[in-house]
Amino acid sequence: MYILTKYLITLAISGAVSSTMPSHAGNSYMPTIPSTQSIKFRVPCNGVLPWSSGTVYNAGQFVVHNGRLYVAKWWTQGEMPGISLVWEDQGACS
């Protein structure tokens, strides 16, 4: 049985960082740093069955399709992972 878990990962950046850039006509500029970054990890897929168009899947069930792990967000049948919005991509299989 697989359990869907989301993790919050915090990255610390170190080194010489300036809080402002050189001013122009008396104005200072703050650098823009993206607040969110997506990181995809390879996930173990051992024991997860491949997707089958004739199988009924309920929310939370996992399948492997084209080397990737997917989890169903709601009841589905015949909707292909990677194409349909019912499937959430969990990453490449390791």
pLDDT in tens, 23-62: 555 555 555 656 666 665 677 899 999 999 999 999 999 9
Q: Do residues 84 and 68 lie in contact, with contact meaning Cβ atoms separated by under 8 Å?
A: no
In single-letter form, the type of residue at position 94 comes to S
Q: 40: which 2 tokens? A: 């995809």
Q: What is the pLDDT of residue 32?
A: 60
CB 42 within 8 A of CB 94: yes
Name the class of domain 41-92.
Answer: mainly beta
Predicted TM-score (pTM) of the model is 0.59
Predicted pLDDT of residue 94: 86
Instruction: Show me where the domains of the chain are located.
Output: 41-92
* Residue 9 C-beta-side C-alpha neighbours within 13 Å: 9
Per residue in 53-90, pLDDT (tens digit) is: 999 999 999 999 999 999 999 999 999 999 999 999 99
